[in-house]
Structures are given as structure tokens and as C-alpha cells.
Chains A and B, each alone.
Chain A
Amino acid sequence: MSLIIKGGRIIDPVNGRDREGDLLIEKGRIVKIGKSLSGDRTIDAKGLWVVPGLIDMHVHLREPGYEYKETIESGCRAAAAGGFTAVACMPNTDPVNDNGSVTDLILTRARSAAVTVHPVGAITRGSCGEGLAEIGEMAELGVVALSDDGRPVTNGQLMRRGMEYAGSFGLPVISHAEDLDLCAGGVMHEGTISTRLGLRGIPSAAEESMVERDILLAELTGAALHVAHVSARGTVERIRKAKARGVPVTAEVTPHHLSLSHEALAGYDTNLKVNPPLRTEEDRQALIAGLADGTLDAVASDHAPHNIAEKEVEFDQAAFGMVGLETSLSLLLQLVHEGRLTPVQLVERMSPAPARILKLQGGTLREGAVADVTLIDPDLTFTVDAARFRSLSSNTPFQGRELKGKAVCTLVRGKAVYSDPVMKGRKRKVT
């Protein structure tokens, strides 16, 4: 049974394509791209963008160990609803993904999931920062990167060794960069707002100092460094300078850091308590500029589901993090509507870039490629309703917010894993 995606705006940055056309999909692959194609089934994509399947390279699926917050199954359904055809999941599970058996468990559970799951393995055992994890074993099973995400690797020598060892397996190292001592007890950005609210702050220096260290180590070892969730303008500057002198560094930024600043915390909404914290408006503007000029290579949600019991508590006690898979694309589309990002740039940062960084198949719509495709309606307005999230958790600060633009259909290997109700009128079977 062949499928035609008809008349959409095909945006394929890798192949320099941004024009109207048809996609023919057969047996899970893109067979032809052209005009006036025909097939057994048709999806009318008029007015929609047809893009390579979006990839979220930083999500927390919480399984094994924290299934009350999210499971691989629910997290992948959330990803599909958000327009993602693949995700990379972080190893801070329980037990930590620091050896083959946990990697194997994740991959096994992922086999029946809606989207493709690429596990990230820990750099150190238990992510405790004391000794190397069984990186080779995990590499053999298919981890795509290494990270102690949730924690930094404080010991410089160990981070260096982790980078060198990862290098032998061709794996990038994703750094969650923070100086834990400078962060101690902090719950939001250190600045005028934390002073007004009486909350302990985390200064930008806590992130910048560690990013600079990691950049120097990447330079020393030649390892591929990827900086997770950049939050400070000084960090953007440092990455820009490092790239200019040829350091193998890439970086990502979250939709919430691109959309919010610390001023939003005035009501003590714990859904805004994130690590790294939301910083000033100047930082936010620098992040947007950095994403537009490519200093920040990719958008990654850092989807961090937490149970109500962990969020509906005093601000100091609340867990850090917000969910993001089901709002990520829509928040980025707001930047396109505001003229801060072009459609081609948006697609590039959310599909080919993560594919390139993690050396994944995907990020492209060329003939012969696996048919991971996302259909986006850039003008569809909707109101964020966490009660209707596929995620098991609802810790989002965007509840009730009206957004314009969302994914309306997500195809993984040619099969629709998500279809917005608006798609009903667009599907036709030719008998």
C-alpha cells in the first residue's frame, strides 16, 4: 500500500529543498519526491509543512525506576503527539543506564514504542562522577552519546578520561555543565528577581565556568563535546568563540529558555523551577540569536516529567524540570511567527542538526530514506491543555496558553503514529 503526501510545502534543509510537492512512501521508505504523484492512499497536505521527522535529543523517559512519572511507552506517545519521530533518552533512570543490561532493557521496551528511542549512556558509574561506566558495552548495544545529565562530572581528570574513552567508540559527550558549589541551594537565576523573591539564586557563572572547562578539555582530547541546555548569554559567547577556533563542540537550547525569563517566577509557580534556571531577558535574546546564527545547533526539550506530589509543594522543595515534548514545536513556531527564525532554520535545528550530532539516520527527506516525516500546520491555533497530554505528567507552565502552530501528523517508517483530529478530512483512500 503506497501513501502520497500531496501538495504540502516540503522543507528539507539538507537537500536545499523548500517548495511545494508530493512525497510517495512505500514499504516504510520515501520512494519518490515530485509533482502530481499518485498512490493507494493520500494525505492532503495543502497548507501544511512536510518536514523530515523531528528529533528530540534530550528527553527523560524515566524508565526504569520512575514509571510513576513517565514510561518509555507514554513518553514516546507524547513525542509522537509533539511531532517527533525519534528521541534520545537520558540515563538518569533507576538503575542508571551505565551498563549493557540497562541499555538492553530500554531498547527492549522501546521496540513497541511509537517512535524510535536512542539511549544515551552514562559517562561514569551511577553518574556518581567517580569511575568510568561500561561505555564499550553500551556502545555495542547502540547508545548514541554519553552523559551524566542531571549532574556535572565535577572531577576534571575524570571528564577528560571520559572524553578520551568515548572517542575510541566515536561517541559524543553531552555535558550538563554546572559548578555544584556555586549552585548550592539555588532554585532560580541569581539576580534582581531572586533577590526580590527571597529565593537562593544560581549565578550564570556556575554554568559558564564549567562550559569553559569542558571546551578546553574537548580541545585537549579532540572529543566531540555537546553542551546541553544552554541558558546564559556568556555560554553562547564561549561556544561561538570555541567554534571559531575549530573546537569540536555543539550545543542545544530548550524551548522554555527561548520563551521565558526569570520574571515569570514572580508567582512562585514551581513548573518554572528548572535546572539550568530561566535567566534574564538579555540571556533569552542571546539564546534566540545564537539559535538563529547556528552557534546553538539544536533545539532539545529536556522533557522532565514529575508527579504532582513533587511539584505541588513549597518552591524550595519542588523537583526541577518541566515536560516539553508536547509543546516544544509550537513554542519554536512562535519564534517563526515573530520573524526571529525562518521555517528552514526551525526545521534544521529540530531534525538534521540532532541527527548530525548523534550520527543518526534521519533529518532528511531524500529518495530512499526511511519515511520518518512530520506534517506541521503552522497556523493552527490551540490552547495548551495538560489534561490531554499523552505524557503521564502535566508539569508545564504553559497550561492555558494559546499557541499558533503544531504538528498534525507524525509518520514513523511510513506509519502514522499520531494524527490530530483536523487530519480527518485530509485522508483519502483510492480504491
Chain B
Amino acid sequence: MAWGKRKDLLGIEDLSREEIEAILDTAESFKDVSLRKIKKVPALRGVTVVNLFLEPSTRTRTSFELAGKRLSADVINISASSSSILKGESLKDTAWNIEAMNADILIVRHVAAGTAHFLSRVLNCSVINAGDGAHEHPTQALLDLFSIRERKQKIDGLTVAIVGDIAHSRVARSNILALRKLGARVRIAGPGTMIPPGIEAMDVEVCRSLDEAIDGVDVIMMLRIQKERQEQSLFPSVREYSRFFGLTRQRLKGAQEDLLIMHPGPINRGVEIAPDVADGPYSIILDQVTNGVAVRMATLYLYSGAKR
């Protein structure tokens, strides 16, 4: 497998189908490392990995940290609240200073779209996008596809519904791209205020309601609704949102037995997803988290070889 030509993972939009499958295949072999008593392989020994998380995160950051450590890399975590960014230091200076300490891989999460692109231009080390504003969250899409493939053995021909605040969701964008590249059909649904203009150009079917979107699908991905969006007049109240777009047991009557329900987390129990659905038989939400570590190990492993 010819890898090593890419320095950075900025988004699914740059990856071919073959590259996506290569990452998923590599993740498979890393998955069992996390099941052993000694959860370590020396693959990235001596490699310095820096997590630059300028937006809050539980899953992604812990997942990348564990992935790095299980590969024996030296992992450093930097967050905005405890860094000199509070003193007004620019992003470019922050990144250059980190690189000056010979970091090999910089994993960055930021509230502004295009941040990973910006850093990839100014840095020589590898940049991995852990979420840039509403643009992309490639490793999330990769772990989501891994989780689906694990259960269904394939992605081609499946129909996947993504429901919620599509307009502001990097998870939605990355998943739409990845699912389409691997041959799935994608439906999206959400309140009219949250369907971004021109989304049809990304080759998805826009559904008018939750029921229309999930009718007969193989996979449902629910997205978190942010309370701030209410202040921006994107929805009137949590009560109304959950009534029309919340996934409950009643809405799943007639669903196929092997339906998969997913959520990137964190979940708002009772808002976009009912507690008994999140914890119910179709849910693979926690498997997603487990697979996240394996997929991020694969990502770090593959992108560590691509130094300039």
C-alpha cells in the first residue's frame, strides 16, 4: 500500500475511496491492541504528538491521547484556557513555537473553519484536523464508517440518515463526504433553519421530517443540538425541537432489526435522543467511542511516516 505521500489530514474531501479504506483496514489491526492486558505497541516510539485543542473536547482529545500513548508516542496536551493564547498569542505563533520544539504531529481542534488548512501551510510537521469549526472532523467520519462496516461488513448500498443541525455540523459534512465516497446513500433532515443552502450539491437527499428521513434506513446518525442556536432564532424551544426532531422509541416502531443508531457525542439525553434509545438495542454509540481509539491509532501511524 503506497502511503506517505500526504503530510496532513485536513478533511475527508482530500481522501480517495482507497485511502479511506486503507485507514479503516489499518484500524482493524490496531483494534485488538486495546483489548490486550498490555495496551501498547512500539510503532510510534520516540515520536512527539501534540494535541492542540482550542475548543472543548472529551472524546476526541482523550481518544487521540490514548491512541498516541498506545502506540508509545510522547503525547502533550495543550488547551486554550491554560495556554498563552489567553495572553493574546496568535495561532500562528502558538503553532510555530510547538514546532520549534520538534513536534512530529500536531492534532488541532479549533472553532474556526479552515484552521487546519492555515496551519498546514505554515508548518512543516504533520497536521491532523480534529475538528475545524463547521467544516470537517475527518477522524469522526472514519470511526463512524469503521463502526458501520464492523456491523454491516460493507458501506456500499446502505442508506444512512443524518438528523439535526446539519448547517453547523462538521460531523455531518465529513460523514456525507465519506459515506458518498464509499457508495452509501445519504438522507438529511432537520429544521429548515438548519439545512445549509446548496447542500444538495453534496449529493444528499433533503427530507422534510424525521419520519421521512428514517423510513427504511440502515443507519441513523443523530446530531447534538446546541442551546446557543435557540438564541440565534434557529429553533424556538428545546421542547419543540425534541418533539419534531427527537428520536424516541415510538418513532422507531417498524424499524428493521439490524438498524444502527449512532451519535458522535456528547448526547443531550431527552433532546435529540431519548435515553432509552441511546441506551437501547440499536445503539452503537459506545462502540463508536471504542473504535475511535483504533481509528486514531491508524491515523497517527499512517501520517507519522509522511514527514517533509
Q: Are B202 and A196 in contact (CB under 8 A)?
A: yes
CB contacts (< 8 Å) of A197 on chain B: these are: 113-114, 135
Q: Are A192 and B90 in contact (CB under 8 A)?
A: no
B307 to chain A, nearest CB (A): 22
Q: Are B199 and A195 in contact (CB under 8 A)?
A: yes
Q: Are B133 and A201 in contact (CB under 8 A)?
A: no
Q: Are B133 and A316 in contact (CB under 8 A)?
A: yes
Give 4 A-B pairs besides A197-B114, A198-B134 with Cβ atoms closer than 8 angstroms: A198-B135, A314-B91, A314-B112, A315-B118
Known: A312-B92, A313-B91. Is A198-B197 also a contact (CB below 8 A)?
Answer: no
Q: Are A195 and B198 in contact (CB under 8 A)?
A: yes
Q: Chain A residue with minimal CB distance to B202?
A: A196
Give Cα A15 to B305, complex, Å. Answer: 68
B158 to chain A, nearest CB (A): 23
Give Cα A14 to B134, complex, Å. Answer: 52
Give Cα A417 to B118, complex, Å. Answer: 39
B166 to chain A, nearest CB (A): 9
A191 interface contact, C-beta 8 A = yes
In the complex, the 9 A-B pairs of residues with the closest C-beta atoms, listed nearest first? A198-B135, A268-B114, A192-B198, A198-B134, A314-B112, A198-B113, A195-B196, A315-B114, A192-B201
Ordered by A's residue number, 29 sampled pairs between the chains whose C-beta atoms are within 8 Å are: A192-B198, A194-B197, A195-B196, A195-B198, A196-B201, A196-B202, A197-B114, A197-B135, A198-B132, A198-B133, A198-B135, A198-B173, A199-B133, A199-B134, A199-B135, A268-B113, A268-B114, A313-B90, A313-B91, A313-B92, A313-B118, A314-B91, A314-B110, A314-B118, A315-B112, A315-B113, A315-B118, A316-B113, A316-B133
User: How extensive is the interface on chain A, given as a class?
Assistant: 20 to 34
A267 interface contact, C-beta 8 A = yes
Interface residues of B, Cβ cutoff 8 Å to A: 13, 90-92, 110-115, 117-118, 122, 132-136, 167, 170, 173, 196-199, 201-202
Q: Chain A residue with minimal CB distance to B173?
A: A198
A317 interface contact, C-beta 8 A = yes
Known: A196-B173, A316-B133, A317-B112. Is A268-B201 also a contact (CB below 8 A)?
Answer: no
Q: Are B202 and A195 in contact (CB under 8 A)?
A: yes
Give Cα A313 to B117, complex, Å. Answer: 11
CB contacts (< 8 Å) of B13 on chain A: these are: 196
A297 interface contact, C-beta 8 A = no
CB contacts (< 8 Å) of A214 on chain B: these are: none
CB contacts (< 8 Å) of B170 on chain A: these are: 198
CB contacts (< 8 Å) of B114 on chain A: these are: 197, 199, 268, 314-316
Among A192, A193, A198, A316, the one with the most B-chain Cβ atoms within 10 Å of its Cβ is A198
Give Cα A310 to B135, complex, Å. Answer: 22
Q: Chain A residue with minimal CB distance to B167?
A: A195
Q: Chain B residue with minimal CB distance to A314?
A: B112
Interface residues of A, Cβ cutoff 8 Å to B: 190-199, 201, 203, 267-268, 309, 312-317
Q: Chain B residue with minimal CB distance to A193?
A: B198
Q: Chain B residue with minimal CB distance to A195?
A: B196
Give Cα A173 to B92, complex, Å. Answer: 41
Among B114, B196, B198, B199, the one with the most A-chain Cβ atoms within 10 Å of its Cβ is B114
Q: Chain B residue with minimal CB distance to A201?
A: B197
Q: Chain B residue with minimal CB distance to A192?
A: B198
Q: Are A316 and B112 in contact (CB under 8 A)?
A: yes
CB contacts (< 8 Å) of B134 on chain A: these are: 198-199
Give Cα A94 to B34, complex, Å. Answer: 60
Give Cα A341 to B168, complex, Å. Answer: 42
CB contacts (< 8 Å) of A199 on chain B: these are: 113-114, 133-135
Known: A195-B202, A196-B202, A198-B133. Is A314-B197 also a contact (CB below 8 A)?
Answer: no
B91 to chain A, nearest CB (A): 6
CB contacts (< 8 Å) of B201 on chain A: these are: 192, 195-196
Give Cα A190 to B196, complex, Å. Answer: 9
Q: Chain A residue with minimal CB distance to B134?
A: A198
Give Cα A248 to B199, complex, Å. Answer: 40
Give Cα A350 to B13, complex, Å. Answer: 41
CB contacts (< 8 Å) of A267 on chain B: these are: 117
CB contacts (< 8 Å) of A309 on chain B: these are: 90
B194 to chain A, nearest CB (A): 12
B229 to chain A, nearest CB (A): 13
Q: Are B133 and A268 in contact (CB under 8 A)?
A: no
CB contacts (< 8 Å) of A316 on chain B: these are: 111-114, 133
CB contacts (< 8 Å) of A312 on chain B: these are: 92, 122
B141 to chain A, nearest CB (A): 14
Among B92, B111, B122, B170, the one with the most A-chain Cβ atoms within 10 Å of its Cβ is B92
Give Cα A317 to B92, complex, Å. Answer: 13
Give Cα A312 to B123, complex, Å. Answer: 13
CB contacts (< 8 Å) of A194 on chain B: these are: 196-197
A388 to chain B, nearest CB (A): 22
CB contacts (< 8 Å) of A190 on chain B: these are: 197
Give Cα A316 to B118, complex, Å. Answer: 12
Give Cα A309 to B92, complex, Å. Answer: 10
